[in-house]
């Protein structure tokens, strides 16, 4: 495969990738302990601060 073909394939792969919001999709609310819940609240607060700017 030539360099041009690889570049096109990489560009196409980037287009197919969904944007990541940085959240872990494997989190289980049922298995969360108090530290997990506190970390979630801190993350929500940080998201609110980031959106406010």
Q: Is residue 38 part of a domain?
A: yes
For residue 5, the model assigns a pLDDT of: 67
Q: What is the count of structural domains for the chain?
A: 1
| pLDDT greater at residue 50 or residue 20 | 50
Distance CA 19, CA 53 (A): 21
Helix (H) or strand (E) holding 47: helix 34-52
Q: Which domain holds residue 39?
A: 29-53
12 domain residue, yes or no: no
**Residue partners of 27: CB distance under 8 A and separation at least 6:** 36
pLDDT in tens, 1-35: 566 667 666 666 555 566 667 765 677 888 899 99
d(CA 25, CA 39): 15
What DSSP character marks residue 52?
A: H
Average pLDDT on 23-49 reads: 88
Domain contains 7: no
Query: Residue 44: which pLDDT band, with cuts at 50, 70 and 90?
Result: very high
Which pLDDT belongs to residue 27?
73
Q: Tell me, yes or no, whether 37 lies in a domain.
A: yes
């Amino acid at each position: 495969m030539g360099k041009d073909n690889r570049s096109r394939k990489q560009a196409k792969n980037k287009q197919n990738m969904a944007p990541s919001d940085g959240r872990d999709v494997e989190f289980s609310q049922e298995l969360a302990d108090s530290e997990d819940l506190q970390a979630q609240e801190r993350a929500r607060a940080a998201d609110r601060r980031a959106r406010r700017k």
